[in-house]
Structure 1
Amino acid sequence: MTAQDTLAGSRPAPAAPHELRRRLKVSHVVCLAMADASPAMAVLLLSGGVFQVGGTFAAGAMLVLSVVVILIAMCLGELASTYPSTGGSYSMVRSVLPEPLAWITLFNFVTQGIVIPASLLLGIPIFLKHLMPGLTVPNEVIAFALLVISGGIAITKVEIGARVNIAILIVQLVVVGLIVLAAVIAPAQNPVDIVLHPVALSDGQLVAVTLGMALATLAPAFNVLNGYDAVCGFVEELVGGAADIGRSVIYAAILASVLITVPLIAGVIAAPDLTAFLQSDAPIVYAVESALGPWASTILDIGVIAALFNAALTLQMYFARGVFASARDGLWPPVVNARLAQLNRFSSPGWAVAALLVPSVFLIGMSSLDWLIMFAGTMIATVYFFVAVAALFSRIAHPGIKRPFRMPFWPLAPLIVIAFTGYALLTQTRDFLIGELVLAGIALLAWALSKLWRRAG
């Protein structure tokens, strides 16, 4: 069934067993999105790769990206309010663009829900053992136990998961505040120079950042400021009108930009030695410990552990709803759809959560997830690229449809996002591009096979 059929009203309303309950307020979904964006994790961990590529231009890159993120949120907000479905980005693309592109979006979308939580939970034992040096339990065992705990929360009532995430998010805000405090108490770098005169390491020496280095920084920075789109995965559980989801995703994007960009810049300001800062595996941690002393390391460890678990839980809840929506749309063989489109007694997509947890168990057993973690950035850029294309063509293809939330600056906003994400994809290394082509090929094969089982059904 095509998106045009859906808009024409030929698609039947979902049966009651497949309807999610509206139990979340705007504050709930925004907090869920903040848990996915995970400011403490983004600043303390994910930013390390950005500093390696572009030096202190990481600060400028985040400022640029903050603007782009608001434009992406505008596209997401209009599409989510116009085509409200818990499938998030996949459902938006399916409602506007040809079905093969929707399948590519779906595979990029769902694969993140398998790879990223597994990698996040594998990171927790590292910081846990730093807090408790006597702990000898293997990292994989700890990660597996945390996977079971987070999965158990993810299949309960959605408001329980939201409350857990809000509580852990408070811990993250304490950590983010600590980084800003370090810059206030012990400023060592001029913020104007950080932004306007960035430097990077070259053969152990500080050199001025070139235009090429600056452009290359944008792609990895794209992976740091992310997660605000999780709002769209809870659209069918949001109390209120469809316009609320548009405002919610804008609020989430603004909050994520502030809570990640400000402490990242503060961390650079607090760095006493830029050479040592850029040579560190965790530059922001180095800066905070230098400014506040070793005691800050304990708080940072606790904050990172909370952030990693927080993000893993939210991602399981978010991406499981995408799997649930795809089954409800009848994309898979009938026997698979029957299971994945079921809601449990908590009105949560329990089988969809399990569909993500099972392959995550195997990934946790892998010796290294580094390539898959970095490949997640390519998948994110691909999804946003198709979302922007859908936001551009939605008004052209369906001019008469009601839009509870209309983005400002159309078509400028989607055009800028298309250019930015397209550039981010083109500047990926060859192995990531090959990986994306393989994933797209698998998605197209699944689309072709789906015609057979849908015809049989």
Structure 2
Amino acid sequence: MAVIALGTGDHLGVVWGSLGGKEVGLAVIAPASLVSVSGIRTNAWVTGIFLAVELAAIAVLAWLGPVHVEQPISTLWTPHELGQGDVLVGASAGLVASFAATALFAYNGYGTTVYFAGETRQVSSIGKVVMWSLGITVVAECLPLVAVLLGTPSMSALMAAPSPMNYFLLERGGDTVNTVVSLGITIAIVNAVIAIMLQIGRLLYSSARDRAWPDVIGRPPAAVHPRLRTPVQATPIMGAASIVVAWLVPLDTLILATGANLVVLYIFVAVSALYGRISGATAHATYRMPAWPRVPLGVIGVMAYVLYESIDADRRPVGIAVAMVAAGYLYYYAYLHPRREHRWTLLDPVRDTTE
């Protein structure tokens, strides 16, 4: 959430220069926390309206590119990087793979629908919602990206620009279009912050509810608002933690570490898919992965290569991701596993029949 929130200043600063600093991103997190504490239906309306605005901004980007095509179609599959004097040179496969971790972060998030399964009627449709979210995400991100790559007047200038999207908008749409679309992108960022806040607040709440923490730590985030029925303390706790992280950690480090963490996560999911079928742990599940075991084996192979290239480029982000996983295992085996009879018990869902 800190990574996304810190992008607010880059686009809002285009409209008002005084709002282009890091502090703007930090300030976005606080009201997003308050909005996220409101009822789930209120949040659905807020995020839905914001989504309509950001889709309109995407439509403008997707339109400006095709009407000003200057770059060859081969641009889409020929990787380049900036060399000396901002001259385009070919990028190696290893460099492309090392940035795949960051690309994963751009598309990740479609699966967070499952965090709201406990507040969803007809919960059996969650799987379909996840897949639809993935498809919409890919289309909504690829269309403007393709448009910008093909429609930019100069690829080297685009890559050298501090804010490539703003460079493209100024060149192809002018100041007014740049201002309007930048506001739309800002709304999209705020919307993403709210959506992630909704997710991580429920993540902390559920871990506290299932007694994954010592009681002195776990009781406050396990509280639910009696009327709104939202994690009234867990959400602002995660908001405050995000503000601290965003303030102390450089943005580049946050981006790379988040991407590396996702690569490690994808590997764990693929290993779990293999282990669950082999051990029989998922034999009771209604869903059976098609093309098993080729899909998880393919994911492990690709992610292992991305991880290797990421380590070769910069070991620190991968080190942070591995340290996070190691800390989780240490906590589990040192505290939770010896108390597994009454800690992290994964309670059955409470069925609420009220409206």
- Do these two structures clear the TM 0.5 threshold for a shared fold by scoring above it? yes
Contact 2:98 2:307 in 1 (8 A): no
CA distance in 1, matches of 2:341, 2:77: 60
Tell me by how many angstroms 1:368 deviates.
3.4
User: What is the letter of the counterpart of residue 152 of structure 1?
Assistant: L
- The residue type equivalent to 1:439 in the other structure is M
Residue aligning to 1:350: 232
- Summarize the alignment of residues 219-234 of structure 1 with structure 2, pairs less than 5 Å apart: 219-234=101-116
Q: Secondary structure at the match of 1:332?
A: coil
Q: Deviations over 1:141-198 (max 9, x none)?
A: x44543231111111211211211111111111111111111122111122x113444
AA of the residue aligned to 1:362: V
Seen in structure 2, the aligned counterparts of structure 1 residues 210 and 343 have a Cα distance that, compared at 3 Å, is same
* Cα distance in structure 1, aligned partners of 2:169 and 2:15: 17
Relative to structure 1, the CA distance from residue 435 to residue 328 in structure 2 (aligned partners, 3 Å threshold; closer, same or farther) is same
Deviation at 1:386, TM superposition (A): 1.3
CA offset digits 1:345-378 (Å, max 9, x no partner): 2111222213212222323443734312321111
- Say if 1:333 and 1:453, in contact at 8 Å, map to a contact too: no
- Is the CA contact 2:6–2:246 (under 8 Å) kept in the aligned structure 1? yes
Map residues 183-194 of structure 1 onto 2, 5 A cutoff: 183-191=65-73, 193-194=74-75
Q: Does 1:285 align with 2:166?
A: yes
State the distance in 2 between where 1:226 and 1:181 align: 25
- TM-fit CA distance, 1:389: 1.6
Structure 1 391/235 Cα, relative in aligned 2: closer, same or farther at 3 Å?
farther
Work out which of the residue numbers 359, 363, 377 in structure 1 matches 2:241.
Answer: 359
Q: 1:131 to 1:287 in 2, by over 3 A?
A: closer
Other-structure match for 1:438: 323
* Matched residue, 2:253: 371
Mapping for residues 32-431 of structure 1, pairs under 5 Å:
117-133=1-17, 135=18, 140=23, 142-191=24-73, 193-203=74-84, 204-242=86-124, 244-345=125-226, 346-366=228-248, 368-398=250-280, 401-428=283-310, 429-431=314-316
CA distance in 1, matches of 2:290, 2:340: 39
- Answer whether contact 2:110 2:134 (CA < 8 A) is retained: yes
TM-score scaled to structure 1, two decimals?
Answer: 0.67
**Counterpart check, 1:449 vs 2:330:** no
CA contact (8 A) 1:320 1:353 kept: yes
Write the letter of the residue equivalent to 2:128: R
Normalising by structure 2, what TM-score? 0.85
Does the C-alpha gap of structure 1 residues 234 and 367 become closer, same or farther in structure 2, counting only changes over 3 Å?
Answer: closer
Contact 2:260 2:321 in 1 (8 A): yes
> Displacement of 1:136 after TM fit?
7.2
- 1:201 and 1:123, CA in 2 relative to 1: closer, same or farther beyond 3 A? closer
Shift in alpha-carbon separation, 1:210–1:384, aligned structure 2, 3 A: closer
- In the alignment, the residues of structure 2 paired with residue 413 and residue 183 of structure 1 have an alpha-carbon distance, to the nearest angstrom, of 35
- CA apart distance, 1:220: 2.7
SS of 1:427's equivalent in the other structure is helix
Q: CA deviation at 1:216?
A: 3.4
Distance 1:336 1:216 in 2: 38
Classify the secondary structure of the residue corresponding to 2:236: helix
Aligned letter for 1:179? Answer: L
Alpha-carbon deviation of 1:451?
4.5
Q: In 2, distance between residues paired with 1:198 and 1:124?
A: 28
CA contact (8 A) 1:185 1:291 kept: no
Structure 1 residue 403: Cα displacement: 3.0
Contact 1:332 1:453 (C-alpha < 8 Å) held by counterparts: no
Shift of 1:138: 7.3
In structure 2, relative to structure 1, the CA distance for the partners of 1:400 and 1:284 (3 Å cut) is closer
- Paired with 1:163 and 1:266, the residues of 2 have a C-alpha distance of 30
Unmatched runs of 5 consecutive residues or more in structure 2? 344-355
Structure 1 gap ranges (5+)? 1-116
Share of identical aligned residues, percent?
Answer: 24
Q: 1:288-346 CA deviation, whole Å, 9 max, x = no partner?
A: 32122222210222022111111111111111222122223321113333332332121
- How far residue 208 of structure 1 moved from its aligned partner, in angstroms, is 3.3
2:205–2:222 contact (8 Å) kept in structure 1: yes
CA-CA distance at 1:452 after TM superposition = 6.0
1:412-433 per-residue CA deviation (whole Å, 9 max, x = no partner) reads 2222222222322232221122
Deviation at 1:455, TM superposition (A): 7.6
Amino acid at match of 2:194: L
443-452 or 161-170, larger mean C-alpha shift: 443-452
